[in-house]
Chain A
Amino acid sequence: MTAVSAQLMSLETMNQGKIAFVRFYAYLGLIAGLAGLAYFGPGGYGGETDLLLFLSLDGISWGGIGAVAGLAVGAAISMLKPEWSDSKSASNLVPWLDGALLMILLAAVMALFEPNQALISYENQANLISGRIVMTMNMLFLFSAVSYIAYLFAPAAFIGQLATWSAWAGVYAGGSALLLRWYESYLISEEIGHAPVSNLYEVFILLFCITSIIYLGMERRYQAKALGAFVMTLVSAGVFFGIWLDSVGQGDIKPLVPALQSYWMKIHVPMNFIGYGSFAVACGAGTAYLFRHWLEGRGGYTRLLELFPTLDQLDQLAYKAVAIGFPAFTLATILGAAWAAEAWGGYWSWDPKETWALIVWLVYGAYLHARISHGWHGKTLAWWAVAAFLVTLFCFIGVNMYLSGLHSYGQLA
């Protein structure tokens, strides 16, 4: 056994049994501590200054106490009820939380390289670090897409590894760039500071990361590497759009209009993008299905086909992605309705964005029914997954470009 694989082994055990269980509780404690600070802390919920609150001494002590308390609870439970510590949910969730923590640490390290406060201004944001990290993310995602495609034609294990690792690196670059951007918004001015989910540019980065994470999770569980060529190509198309957005000045940090100054924004928007991201992966799986189907129809291509999951697996993967996206999107819509009820006085106004969200929801609802009822085959549903994603895209971008309404703060220039 080589040293590397021994190390990998020990990483595996880190995510199992007691270690994972106790760590999971520590994370829960940390989150509970910060939530407690936000709601019951001395200053109370500080509206848009929450990031500063979490980074303050108060944040460190509340979060720290929470984490230690969580650790203690986890340890106690795993002693008293050892069989509970085999819980699947802890070992499934802990790697994600580790990843989040790593992202935060990365962002913290990058923050050390920010220019001197005196050089930071709203008018000229070119010297901020996050822009460069986003560019790195763009390059990593593009590189990953190219590698995944190359892998289809030259299926060497190392090319596959390269593709996967660059996609992961892209996720970490994107995630930490967003966190850094959040911090930078406060550096520019405390009154401007806000979570980086307020305009099209920011949510695009979020979308790339979420789409990639969902895909990479599937790749790990179901050995579906060929799918990467399709999903990461979609992401790359988005990357070009993001670069264009930045070039026309949409990439700047801008202050929040009053309508967006609400904690709902931080819940509603990311939840929506879990939905969109899953639907993008479903679209990738649908395209892969159609591609494989076409290849099979033409005959030959055995080497290429060997790399692909079977048609049935692709069909199942698309369903899996929708199964993640549909509840998330439903929840996001409900949260949006709750926000609308609080901000506009009605939970539903038939505003174009809302209506298109409903359309997206109905289309995927029909997809789910079509799966269960008889007589619908993989190919129709694969087309459906692709078409439904086009509807989703219209809901996401088209509405902002072509239709007016209450959500028009997302308007393109």
Chain B
Amino acid sequence: MRNTATDIKSAILRLGSMSLAIVLLSVLALASIIGTVLIQNQEQADYLTQFGPLWYAVFKALGLFDMYHNWWFLSLLGFLMLSLSVCLWRHVPRMFKDMRNRKVIIADKSLQRFHHLHHWRLPGVSIEAIRAHIDAQLTGWKLQTAEKSGRTYIRADKGRYHKWGYILVHSAILVILTGGLMSVLLGLRGNMSVPEGASEKTIHFLKGSDMVSLDMPFEIRCNDFFIDFYASGQPKEFRSNLTIIDDGKEVLTADIIVNEPLFYKDVYIYQASFGDGGSDIRMKLFHMDGSQRTTTLKSNVYETYTDQKTGISLEFTNFSPFNIENMAAPGQPKQFQNLGPAVEFIVRGPGLKPVKIKSFMNPLIVNGENNGSFMLISLTGNASDYQPFYLGMDLTNPKEWQLFHAFNKRVTSNPESNDPQASLKAFRHALSEVYGNQKPEQIQILGGHIMQGMRALSNLPWPFIPVLEDYDQIYYTGLQLSSDPGMDVVWIGSTILMLGLCIMFYMPHRKVWLVLDPGDKDIRVSFGGMTNRNRLGFEREFHGLLTGLEQAFESATEKRSPA
């Protein structure tokens, strides 16, 4: 019976051993690596394709896809807490005792073991004089004196409360882990997207591998969302103007930006993301059946427009009012230009390969020269594969569309259209048909537009060219809501941790002893010192005291000896 009891006790004590601490810290470090290498909380299907069925099953069973919340990682943390508690329980009482009663009288044998030790023999000086010198040298040290069998023992301490460092650091970690546990158990963190003008009440968050939603006790309306850009096109500020509606009443309206959240009813509301909230889009379709016909189409981002006659559909995926690009050739100083509003959509149709298009509202103007309307086309559907496609004509100018047709009609009706002379003639006729007597300026450029148009349009597989005509932008603001009752506990723990670390590292416990042993002819003085941290620093400090005492003693004996 007794044996099992002592076994249990020693097992518990071992939980508080330093070797275990080292192993625990190392294992935690290794385990933490896994979650940084394996991207966490992805779609399960993605993991399955990445690892194959066998490893997927193994990794899933080990909880590696949600590494920091799986049972064994949490158990490790729990084990650390247990070990810390045992460690504190084992050490703290002794430390308190040590800090309370300090032995002043030291055995000769212990003194001999000190790293730093020095002896003097001082003839013709009184104990009191020596004491006075010692007191003068050891200002800032806590002095205690005792006498025993004729000897005077002086003990001086600095950093006597060093052990508090240990106590504070280790309890602080317990406090921080407790705070973390409170955050996990009682905290709340989720996202909501609110389109401009709309309001929203529900947040969504990941629980294990499932998305769950939760209603908040209040509603948030997004009145407005703004983005401000730097001249170079990088976003400078995201700002949402929000109104909190509680119980049907508008209680609070405020702006939030990144780094400056809103606080309401124990919930912090953060600016987390943004996106298109279903902007109104108006497209102009330029029909390429020779009729010069244009029609307009109205839709919204995230919606799909299907042309009944041809079965061709446009799925609108995004809209952006500013598109700032570096127009300089590679290696040249950068030259930023805003290309204006653009809409992105995917075109599908019977017998057609789906392609992704980014259509700009304005023609491309480079160095003041109008290069005509253009769009970006990606045959793969990836934005990184966008290639510019120049339509030639400036389609925002209806005259150019007319001119194109007037020219086209003449060229196609004339079989010798390849002859440059004939083309030139056809172009002149087309010009006077469209413009009458008021000839446009820059005819050269206009000619270029129409020629490029002839080449480009014949390559397009669709019956019409979709060009962005007008828009009414609506953003959604992506908010993150969180409430975390563990947070303050973590801050308290962190403060204690820092305090403890400062004590532990910068206030080492230094002890020196001076033993005065009066003999017949002289007084024997022994001076010894030790520390528990920062031996190099202590060496200097001890040496400083030593030279100080040496000088003091020298002058004291000198003063006496001539007499």
Contact B258 A334 (CB under 8 A): no
Any chain A CB within 8 A of the CB of B440?
no
- Most B C-beta atoms less than 10 A away, residue of A121, A259, A313, A327: A327
* Chain A residue nearest in CB terms to B235: A258
- With contacts A316-B535, A369-B22 taken as known, whether A359 is within 8 angstroms of B33 at the C-beta atoms is yes
Task: Please name all residues of chain A whose beta carbon is closer than 8 Å to the beta carbon of B536 when the two chains form the complex.
Answer: 221-222, 313, 316-317, 320
State which of B206-214, B215-223, B498-506 sits at the interface with chain A.
Answer: B498-506
Of residues 222 to 271 in B, which have CB atoms within 8 Å of A's CB atoms? 230-232, 234-238, 257-259, 261, 268, 270
Any chain A CB within 8 A of the CB of B127?
no
Task: Please name all residues of chain B whose beta carbon is closer than 8 Å to the beta carbon of A365 when the two chains form the complex.
Answer: 25
Contact A356 B257 (CB under 8 A): no
Q: What separation, in Å, do the CA atoms of A334 and B481 have in the docked complex?
A: 22
Task: Please name all residues of chain A whose beta carbon is closer than 8 Å to the beta carbon of B259 when the two chains form the complex.
Answer: 258-259, 261-262, 264, 342-343
Contact B21 A369 (CB under 8 A): yes
- Most B C-beta atoms less than 10 A away, residue of A258, A370, A403: A258
Q: What separation, in Å, do the CA atoms of A189 and B231 have in the docked complex?
A: 10
- Most A C-beta atoms less than 10 A away, residue of B259, B270, B498: B259
Contact A191 B230 (CB under 8 A): yes
* Chain B residue nearest in CB terms to A352: B36
State which of B344-352, B408-416, B482-490 sits at the interface with chain A.
Answer: B482-490
Contact B498 A255 (CB under 8 A): no
Any chain A CB within 8 A of the CB of B494?
yes
- With contacts A258-B235, A323-B534, A334-B498 taken as known, whether A369 is within 8 angstroms of B481 at the C-beta atoms is no
Shortest Cβ gap from B456 to chain A (Å): 32
Q: What separation, in Å, do the CA atoms of A358 and B8 have in the docked complex?
A: 33
Any chain A CB within 8 A of the CB of B35?
yes
Shortest Cβ gap from B80 to chain A (Å): 10
Of residues 219 to 240 in A, which have CB atoms within 8 Å of B's CB atoms? 221-222
Shortest Cβ gap from A123 to chain B (Å): 4
Partner pick for A122 among B139, B232, B238, B258, CB 8 A cutoff: B232
Shortest Cβ gap from B490 to chain A (Å): 6
Contact B230 A255 (CB under 8 A): yes
Of residues 142 to 188 in A, which have CB atoms within 8 Å of B's CB atoms? none
Task: Please name all residues of chain B whose beta carbon is closer than 8 Å to the beta carbon of A347 when the two chains form the complex.
Answer: 183, 484, 487, 490
Contact B487 A341 (CB under 8 A): yes
Q: What separation, in Å, do the CA atoms of A257 and B452 have in the docked complex?
A: 40
Contact A358 B534 (CB under 8 A): no
Q: What separation, in Å, do the CA atoms of A255 and B235 have in the docked complex?
A: 9
Q: What separation, in Å, do the CA atoms of A344 and B28 have in the docked complex?
A: 25
Contact A355 B22 (CB under 8 A): no
Q: What separation, in Å, do the CA atoms of A122 and B232 have in the docked complex?
A: 8
A-B contact count (CB 8 A): 139
Partner pick for A366 among B26, B68, B180, B189, CB 8 A cutoff: B26
* Chain B residue nearest in CB terms to A363: B29
Q: What separation, in Å, do the CA atoms of A262 and B257 have in the docked complex?
A: 11
Any chain B CB within 8 A of the CB of A83?
yes
Partner pick for B232 among A255, A338, A341, CB 8 A cutoff: A255
Partner pick for B29 among A189, A221, A348, A366, CB 8 A cutoff: A366
Any chain A CB within 8 A of the CB of B333?
yes
Partner pick for A399 among B21, B36, B187, CB 8 A cutoff: B36
Any chain A CB within 8 A of the CB of B129?
no
Task: Please name all residues of chain B whose beta carbon is closer than 8 Å to the beta carbon of A348 when the two chains form the complex.
Answer: 180, 183
Task: Please name all residues of chain B whose beta carbon is closer than 8 Å to the beta carbon of A258 when the two chains form the complex.
Answer: 235-238, 257-259
For the side of the interface on B, what is the size category?
35 or more
Shortest Cβ gap from B237 to chain A (Å): 6
Q: What separation, in Å, do the CA atoms of A83 and B328 have in the docked complex?
A: 68
Partner pick for B36 among A221, A343, A356, CB 8 A cutoff: A356
Q: What separation, in Å, do the CA atoms of A331 and B501 have in the docked complex?
A: 10
Contact A350 B35 (CB under 8 A): yes
Task: Please name all residues of chain A whose beta carbon is closer than 8 Å to the beta carbon of B183 when the two chains form the complex.
Answer: 346-348
Any chain A CB within 8 A of the CB of B61?
no
Contact B189 A327 (CB under 8 A): no
Any chain B CB within 8 A of the CB of A13?
no
Shortest Cβ gap from A341 to chain B (Å): 6
Contact A355 B32 (CB under 8 A): yes
Q: What separation, in Å, do the CA atoms of A303 and B32 have in the docked complex?
A: 46
Contact B230 A124 (CB under 8 A): no
Task: Please name all residues of chain A whose beta carbon is closer than 8 Å to the beta carbon of B257 when the two chains form the complex.
Answer: 258
Contact A372 B18 (CB under 8 A): yes
Contact A362 B29 (CB under 8 A): yes
Any chain A CB within 8 A of the CB of B40?
yes
Contact A370 B22 (CB under 8 A): yes
Q: What separation, in Å, do the CA atoms of A345 and B258 have in the docked complex?
A: 11
Q: What separation, in Å, do the CA atoms of A404 and B237 have in the docked complex?
A: 23
Task: Please name all residues of chain A whose beta carbon is closer than 8 Å to the beta carbon of B40 when the two chains form the complex.
Answer: 350
Partner pick for A326 among B261, B333, B505, B535, CB 8 A cutoff: B505
Contact A327 B501 (CB under 8 A): yes
Task: Please name all residues of chain A whose beta carbon is closer than 8 Å to the beta carbon of B189 when the two chains form the complex.
Answer: 345-346
Contact B333 A191 (CB under 8 A): no
Q: What separation, in Å, do the CA atoms of A356 and B37 have in the docked complex?
A: 11
Any chain A CB within 8 A of the CB of B445?
no
- With contacts A334-B498, A350-B68 taken as known, whether A403 is within 8 angstroms of B36 at the C-beta atoms is yes
Shortest Cβ gap from A237 to chain B (Å): 24
Contact B498 A327 (CB under 8 A): yes
Partner pick for A362 among B28, B139, B480, CB 8 A cutoff: B28
Contact B25 A345 (CB under 8 A): no
Of residues 356 to 398 in A, which have CB atoms within 8 Å of B's CB atoms? 356, 358-359, 362-363, 365-366, 369-370, 372-373
* Chain B residue nearest in CB terms to A121: B333
Partner pick for B501 among A313, A330, A362, CB 8 A cutoff: A330
* Chain A residue nearest in CB terms to B481: A345
Q: What separation, in Å, do the CA atoms of A373 and B19 have in the docked complex?
A: 7
Contact B39 A191 (CB under 8 A): no
Shortest Cβ gap from A46 to chain B (Å): 14
Any chain A CB within 8 A of the CB of B430?
no
Extra contacts besides A258-B259, A316-B536 (17): CB < 8 Å = A122-B334, A123-B328, A123-B334, A191-B230, A222-B536, A257-B234, A259-B258, A261-B237, A313-B536, A323-B505, A326-B505, A338-B491, A344-B270, A345-B480, A346-B484, A352-B36, A362-B29
* Chain B residues proximal to chain A, CB less than 8 Å: 18-19, 21-22, 25-26, 28-29, 32-33, 35-37, 39-40, 67-68, 139, 180, 183, 187, 189, 230-232, 234-238, 257-259, 261, 268, 270, 272, 328, 333-336, 480-482, 484, 487, 490-491, 494, 497-498, 501-502, 505-506, 533-537, 540
Q: Return 25 A-B CB contacts under 8 Å, by A number.
A: A122-B232, A189-B231, A258-B236, A258-B258, A258-B259, A313-B536, A320-B536, A327-B506, A337-B494, A341-B484, A344-B270, A345-B261, A345-B481, A346-B482, A350-B40, A355-B33, A363-B25, A366-B22, A366-B29, A369-B22, A370-B22, A373-B18, A399-B36, A403-B36, A403-B37
Going nearest first, the 6 A-B pairs with the smallest beta carbon separation are: A345-B482, A373-B18, A362-B29, A258-B258, A352-B36, A366-B25
